[in-house]
Structure 1
């Protein structure tokens, strides 16, 4: 009887996903945009503080108040445009990255998600809902990505970056609305300036956490795309090896040298030669 080597399961390898795309380029653009937004927030806070002090000094001295007011108005307009432009660029870049991350999860398969890819765009424009829906959606994307790389040693930020981003982003949205109301109806610029500085600090913190979140999800999905995050090899270790079954009957050549002897010895295979009917 021929000996057959036990069948062993192959090691896990990369399965190409036809519609999945790399995240690294979009992640880089989003990170650069967030860094610019952080710089713009800090610069806006500094300009607001400078203009406020200039007006306060003019009030004390009683000289140049009109000029100080003009400088304050120009500073407010310039810093407002800078803030809007930087936030718009950062928002578009972040949403483009987030949409790619969500569509990649569909390409990876194996996970049913509650929020479709369209919510990565629409969630930010739902009144009041934009305080909650983006957090729930990104939480789902982060958990689904984390599930794909579970059991693999990938260098990426921990889950805490998502928590920090959720807290700071919510705080920034609330403070931004409070600052807008305070600036419109404030008689004393000191309080509004302090709120603006606090809002800028929270914005910088939220952007920093968002950068960590981008790095975390991007590293996980890039690991899947590179083949490092397939099923762990240990999953195959518990499966018993497959062994080729032994033949149940001897071939004709081992049973006898003639057709009659083979017939008497056992069943006839499909390739067993029949008798010579010419005799």
Structure 2
């Protein structure tokens, strides 16, 4: 019988949980305390992982690669996304005000002068927003893939999907509403620092769930808003569509803030876990030297 929680491993407890989900997992053979020849610390500047496949894995390295530099770049670009969202919201609401005025007074001319400048500003804001989103998306996926490869080194047994899905999952229609979350969930579980005795420890996925929920809501509302904007013809319809687009941009801003929290949380957990592994490896290497006559 499969575990009633993760639906991956065999249940071993009376309540239908596996050793991972029940917190009774014994320390892995040679796990955190196994020496790793030539290993490089996660947060240091020494060259990356020692190449070589992990038995049973997807070809992950034998040591995690630092996600710190990538995470800082992603957070910086997410800040640009937030700024561009504010820019486009302000420009959109200003343009909406002009269309509202035209709906109330058809004698107004918004196709020249102030109206034309407002439209040009809104177009510029949209271009900036798109550029920020694309740049951030590319770097985020690179960071996401690296943390997934690190998760394979930490705990391959809790991964529900291979590292390739950390990239490809975003581009599969419909499935991209769910696949990246499954990958992120495995990353989160594998990145959690174990108990001192090697036992499994669970950290609530609140940040992960809020980020993914915010992202999905933002995407769905944005699609609806763009569809309504493209269909709008009358001034009142355009005004209503502009309001919905502004709401979608506000949701995108919230999703970007939540993404910052998610990136920082995962990066912090992976650095902590790799640091413990590095300390254990150093202690294991020092033991034979201290015991030598």
**Does the TM-score normalized on the shorter chain lie above 0.5?**
yes
Cα deviation per residue 1:122-154 (whole Å; 9 max; x = unaligned)? 1111111111111111111111212xx0326xx
Secondary structure class of the residue paired with 2:163: coil
Give 1:212-251 correspondences, 5 Å limit.
Answer: 212-227=261-276
- What's 2:209 paired with? 163
Are positions 1:37 and 2:37 aligned together?
A: no
Are positions 1:66 and 2:115 aligned together?
A: no
Q: Which residue, out of 182, 187, 199, partners 1:141?
A: 187
- What's 2:249 paired with? 200
Unaligned residue ranges in structure 2 (runs of 5+): 1-31, 40-48, 51-60, 197-202, 281-293
Secondary structure class of the residue paired with 1:79: helix
Give 1:19-38 correspondences, 5 Å limit.
Answer: 19=61, 20-38=64-82
- Report how far residue 104 of structure 1 moved: 1.2
Secondary structure class of the residue paired with 1:226: helix
Aligned counterparts of 1:45 and 1:32: Cα–Cα separation in 2: 20
Aligned counterparts of 1:127 and 1:169: Cα–Cα separation in 2: 16
Aligned counterparts of 2:85 and 2:266: Cα–Cα separation in 1: 25
- What's 1:81 paired with? 127
How many residues are treated as equivalent by the alignment?
A: 215
CA pair 160-230 structure 1, distance change in 2 beyond 3 A:
farther
CA pair 143-107 structure 1, distance change in 2 beyond 3 A:
closer
CA pair 201-14 structure 1, distance change in 2 beyond 3 A:
farther
Aligned counterparts of 1:129 and 1:163: Cα–Cα separation in 2: 17
* Greater relative CO, 1 or 2 (CA 8 Å, sep 6+): 1
Aligned counterparts of 1:31 and 1:158: Cα–Cα separation in 2: 22
Aligned counterparts of 1:38 and 1:90: Cα–Cα separation in 2: 11
Secondary structure class of the residue paired with 1:225: helix
Aligned counterparts of 2:267 and 2:33: Cα–Cα separation in 1: 22
Aligned counterparts of 1:180 and 1:82: Cα–Cα separation in 2: 17
User: Larger Cα Rg: Structure 1 or Structure 2?
Assistant: 1
CA pair 178-61 structure 1, distance change in 2 beyond 3 A:
closer
Aligned counterparts of 1:168 and 1:107: Cα–Cα separation in 2: 29
TM-score by length of 1: 0.69
Root mean square deviation of aligned Cα: 2.5
Are positions 1:54 and 2:103 aligned together?
A: no
- Report how far residue 230 of structure 1 moved: 7.5
Secondary structure class of the residue paired with 1:111: helix
Aligned counterparts of 1:140 and 1:14: Cα–Cα separation in 2: 25
- Report how far residue 112 of structure 1 moved: 5.2
TM-score by length of 2: 0.66
